[in-house]
């Protein structure tokens, strides 16, 4: 029997909470801050630590992953980012927001678009790098009514090299959402007026409504441009009412949701790659990738749940045996 090499998995930082109790924006602990002492208290650090963080250089690790540059804060700064994210996640979100919200998921997000109408998929180019330090300052100064110097410090702490939201920031999703909420609200208002539905999942904006067409795409482009963002015109498109829709990793066809065919193909290929691995070859990444794809499929289609659980048990034994 071929012996496969399996490496142990590195520990990950704790996940952010999805709070049960939520409040209005004006009740957020970051709202209306007028001094640095207040800011330090709300961030749960000392004034000395705050001053040191403001002056710190090189507070990020940067690497390339799958063709994208990842900018992730180092532990002390990540703690601040996590605190900002936690406080903003406690603010009650509009109905159209589906990421980072309790009892909502990528599946329920896709499920909003099963109606037999055309859909618009809007892609914003480089969403986090396009959310500038000015966007962040404006949110804290104008929407959160913080003193301008406090807003400037918060923007500096939250942005990579005081330029834009970091691509790997734990706070980037929720903060980008609130920075651009005005634009998203305007989109949603028009969609509701047309008897449709809009959802936002991280940077995926999908609109399904009667009569959706190319002119609506142009209107969305203009609105996004006014927010100092750029819509990727190559990736943004209209999907016909009778066409297959792929939304946040879920396939929608004729009013039903399924796992994408690509997921099933990847499962088959990974099975083959693991089965044909050479003696002593490291298959750790393949085993984890296979389990990830099986879990994804099982979340969408419950008839695959037993298979995913069986493979998890089998993989767990393999990991323990090889450690």
pLDDT in tens, 265-305: 888 888 788 888 887 788 888 888 888 888 888 888 888 88
The per-residue pLDDT for 41 is 95
Rg over CA atoms, the chain: 22
User: Quick one: pLDDT at residue 212?
Assistant: 95
| Joined tokens for residue 38 | 């207040």
- Which ranges constitute the DSSP H helices of 210-275? 214-226, 261-275
- List helix spans (H) across 24-74: 36-43, 47-55
The pTM of the full predicted model, rounded to 2 decimals, is 0.85
Q: What is the DSSP letter of 227?
A: T
84, 158 contact by CB (below 8 A): yes
- Report the residue count for the chain: 323
Instruction: Determine the pLDDT at residue 2.
Output: 46
Q: Which residues does the chain have with pLDDT short of 50?
A: 1-3, 6, 8-9, 319, 322-323
Of the chain, the end-to-end C-alpha distance in Å amounts to 18
The pLDDT, as a whole number, for residue 1 is 42
Q: Which stretch of DSSP H or E encloses residue 69?
A: strand 68-73
């Amino acid at each position: 029997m071929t012996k496969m090499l399996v490496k142990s998995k590195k520990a990950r930082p704790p996940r952010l909470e999805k709070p049960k109790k939520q409040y209005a924006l004006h009740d957020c602990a970051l709202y209306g801050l007028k001094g640095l002492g207040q800011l330090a208290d709300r961030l749960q650090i000392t004034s000395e630590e705050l001053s040191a963080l403001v002056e710190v250089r090189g507070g990020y690790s940067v690497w390339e992953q799958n063709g994208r540059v990842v900018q992730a804060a180092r532990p002390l700064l990540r703690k601040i980012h996590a605190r900002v994210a936690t406080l903003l996640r406690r603010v009650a979100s509009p109905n159209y927001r589906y990421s980072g919200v309790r009892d909502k998921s990528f599946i329920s997000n896709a499920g909003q678009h099963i109606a037999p109408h055309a859909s618009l998929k809007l892609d914003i180019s480089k969403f986090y790098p396009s959310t500038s330090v000015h966007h962040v300052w404006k949110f804290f100064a104008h929407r959160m009514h913080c003193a301008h110097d406090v807003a400037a410090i918060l923007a500096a702490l939250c942005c990579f090299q005081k330029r834009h939201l970091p691509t790997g920031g734990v706070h980037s999703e929720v903060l980008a959402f609130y920075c651009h909420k005005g634009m998203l609200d305007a989109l949603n208002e028009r969609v509701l007026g047309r008897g449709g539905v809009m959802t936002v999942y991280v940077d995926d904006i999908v609109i399904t409504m009667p009569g959706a067409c190319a002119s609506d795409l142009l209107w969305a482009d203009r609105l996004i441009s006014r927010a100092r963002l750029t819509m990727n015109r190559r990736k943004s498109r209209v999907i016909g009412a009778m066409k297959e829709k792929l939304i946040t990793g879920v396939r929608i066809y004729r009013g039903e949701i399924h796992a994408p065919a690509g997921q099933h193909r990847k499962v088959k290929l990974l099975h083959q790659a693991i089965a044909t691995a050479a003696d002593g070859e490291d298959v750790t990444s393949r085993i984890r990738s296979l389990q990830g794809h099986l879990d994804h499929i099982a979340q969408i289609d419950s008839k695959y749940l037993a298979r995913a659980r069986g493979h998890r048990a089998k993989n767990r034994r393999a990991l323990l045996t090889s450690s």
